[in-house]
């Protein structure tokens, strides 16, 4: 798994940290938030991530909707207010994640959210795409010394350069995440080509924050040796909320985890074709063919092509060694479909 002490760039053979992102899928329900922790743990992910919104600290009543999806919230501010949990409730979610063996993460969207999460306890900081330029909030989270997961969904390279320089100035371990802010993100915009670009540009661990709503980008990125994969999760596609189209279901998350681990095992065990072929000697004989008598042949027969056929198993003289048999004399009579062995020949 990703080394939280350093997160230095390493070859692509490490274990990817897999994060199930709840975001606002709990729709303000504490019970549902706890249900997501159980579902993400059962799927085999390494971490659960929430978002910590404090409406009065990050928004105003004039904030516009990206998409007007809520029938009960008059304003975006009202929606953020409904998404809030108390400090005690956040501590309960963190404790639950610990009990299920999950790392606990939550993206802050204000200085007040950072201060709250410091008291609750997080493993690392995920800087959301819209917060990359938030230097005041960053200064607060940098004081903790915790690792930083930097999303890049809305940033040009120059902005990412500045953010990485700021992180490095505080000597914080970090991962840069390829991300495209589109919900759901179409295949043409996932940007897997940026994974090696970011890795080479910053000489750091890289990952993918995927909003495609499918398992495909995550599996493809796993073959490229990413260190971190984050996907949004919902319990079902019939649930309410703006992130549903960009999320995988809990069942799909399980398949994604299994697929990523399968890919990692493949990549960590390069195959030597000669050694594999040698190890499959017995199996090979079941699939290959040997030289057999096409018909009943009496002793003394001078073998010609018309006397020979090729049948499984491949435990006799291989079919492509026919020159070893042609024009030789049978020492004994053999029946049709009998393997012609070396000891039968003069």
The CATH number of the domain where 321 resides is what? 3.90.1210.10
Q: What pLDDT does 59 receive? A: 85
Answer yes or no: do 261 and 305 share one domain: no
pLDDT at 80: 83
Query: What pTM, to 2 d.p., does this model score?
Result: 0.85
DSSP codes, 118-133: HHH--SSEEE-GGGTT
| Domain end marker among 236, 267, 298 | 267
Q: How confident is the model at residue 51 (pLDDT cuts 50, 70, 90)?
A: very high
Q: Please, where are the H alpha helices in the chain?
A: 30-42, 55-58, 76-83, 87-99, 111-120, 135-142, 157-169, 194-202, 216-222, 250-267, 273-279, 281-287
Q: Which of 293, 286, 289, 288 is nearest to 345 (CA)?
A: 293
Q: Residues 134, 281: one domain?
A: no
Strand partners, 339: 292
Is pLDDT of 89 > 80? yes
In contact, 204 and 228? CB cutoff 8 Å? no
DSSP 195: H
**136, 95: one domain:** yes
Q: Whole domain around residue 314: which residue ranges?
A: 274-344
Q: Do 246 and 315 share a structural domain?
A: no
Tens of pLDDT, residues 313-343: 999 999 999 999 999 999 999 999 999 999 9
Question: In the beta sheet, which residues pair with residue 125?
Answer: 148
In a domain, 118, yes or no: yes
Pairing mode, strands 148-151 and 125-127: parallel
pLDDT of residue 2: 57
According to the 3-state scheme, what is the secondary structure of 13-54? CCCCEEEEEEECCCCCCHHHHHHHHHHHHHCCCCEEEEEECC
Task: Give dist(CA 204, CA 88) in Å, integer.
Answer: 36
The two structure tokens encoding residue 216:
């495909």
What's the CATH code of the domain at 143?
Answer: 3.20.20.70
């Amino acid at each position: 798994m990703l080394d939280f002490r350093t997160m230095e760039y390493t070859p692509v053979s490490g274990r990817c940290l897999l994060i199930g992102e709840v975001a606002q899928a709990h729709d303000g329900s504490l019970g549902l938030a706890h249900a997501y922790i159980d579902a993400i743990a059962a799927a085999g992910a390494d971490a659960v991530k929430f978002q910590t919104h404090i409406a009065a600290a990050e928004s105003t009543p004039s904030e516009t909707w990206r998409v007007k999806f809520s029938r009960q919230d008059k304003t975006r501010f009202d929606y953020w207010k409904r998404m809030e949990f108390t400090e005690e409730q956040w501590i309960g979610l963190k404790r639950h994640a610990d009990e299920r063996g999950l790392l606990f993460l939550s993206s802050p969207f204000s200085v007040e959210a950072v201060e709250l999460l410091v008291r609750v306890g997080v493993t690392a900081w995920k800087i959301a795409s819209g917060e990359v330029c938030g230097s005041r909030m960053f200064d607060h989270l940098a004081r903790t010394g915790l690792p930083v997961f930097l999303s890049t969904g809305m940033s040009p390279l120059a902005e990412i350069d500045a953010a990485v320089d700021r992180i490095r100035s505080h000597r914080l371990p970090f991962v840069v995440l390829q991300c495209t802010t589109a919900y759901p993100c179409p295949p043409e915009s996932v940007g897997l080509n940026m994974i090696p670009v970011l890795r080479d540009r910053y000489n750091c661990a890289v990952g993918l924050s995927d909003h495609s709503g499918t398992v495909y980008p995550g599996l493809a990125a796993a073959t490229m040796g990413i260190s971190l994969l984050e996907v949004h999760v919902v319990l079902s596609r019939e649930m309410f909320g703006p992130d549903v189209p960009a999320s995988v279901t809990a069942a799909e998350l399980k398949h994604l985890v299994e697929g990523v681990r399968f890919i990692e095992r493949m990549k960590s065990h390069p195959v030597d074709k000669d050694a594999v072929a040698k190890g499959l000697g017995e199996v090979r004989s079941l699939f290959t063919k040997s030289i057999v008598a096409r018909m009943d042949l009496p002793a003394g027969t001078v073998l010609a092509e018309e006397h020979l056929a090729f049948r499984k198993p491949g435990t006799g003289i291989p079919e492509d060694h026919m020159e070893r048999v042609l024009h030789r004399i049978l020492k004994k009579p053999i029946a049709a479909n009998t393997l012609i062995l070396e000891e039968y020949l003069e």
